[in-house]
Amino acid sequence: MTGRKAGVCHSCRSKGHFFAECSNKRHCPWCKHGFVKCFEVERETKKKGKLFNCCSAKCRYWEWVDKGESCSKSSSTVTVNLNNSTTTEELQQINRTFQSWFG
Ligand SMILES: [Zn+2]
Ligand SMILES: [Zn+2]
């Protein structure tokens, strides 16, 4: 298993550097002290492959990122449709996924 996420920044999704080295990190809009991280849904659900933002400080902030929009581009172009397209069950799955990543 090589290359799964290797070299993909969890802040701006660029290749070649990691989140810790990213100069484009954005502060979390909720808690203001965590950083926004961008992940891809890997579970086998309808949402597989979709990008979403969440907070490195685990404040439970997260939002979908419209595919085709880079997380590092102006945040005003990010489409948030959390409430009308996501079921509670999906949210719980995603939250469990976060927890495994954030350990
Ligand atoms: Zn980056
Ligand atoms: Zn936060």
- As a whole number, the mean pLDDT across the chain is 78
In this structure, is residue 73 part of a structural domain? yes
Helix residue ranges, H only, the chain: 82-85, 88-102
Q: SS3 for 62?
A: strand
pLDDT of amino acid 69: 54
Token look-up 């400080």 returns: 57
Q: What is the DSSP letter of 15?
A: B
Domain total of the chain: 1
- The whole-angstrom separation of Cα 10 and Cα 38 is 5
Ion ligand 2 — residues with CB < 5 Å: 28, 30-31, 34, 55, 57, 59, 61
Nearest ligand, measured from the Cα of 21: 1
Distance 14 CA to ligand 1 centre (A): 5
Q: CA torsion 87→39→4→22, rounded to 10°?
A: -170
Residue 74 lies in a domain: yes
pLDDT for residue 91 is more than 60: yes
Structural domain for 31, as ranges? 19-102
38 located within any domain: yes
**Percentage with pLDDT > 70 across the chain:** 68
User: Does residue 2 lie within any of the structural domains?
Assistant: no
Residue 82 counted as domain residue: yes
Q: Are 53 and 45 in contact (CB under 8 A)?
A: no
Q: pLDDT band at residue 68, thresholds of 50, 70 and 90? A: low
Q: Taking residues 60-85, what's their average pLDDT?
A: 60
Tell me which ligand sits closest to the C-alpha of residue 29: 2
Ligand 1 center from residue 89 Cα (angstroms): 30
Length of the chain: 103
Work out the pLDDT band at 23, boundaries 50, 70, 90.
Answer: very high
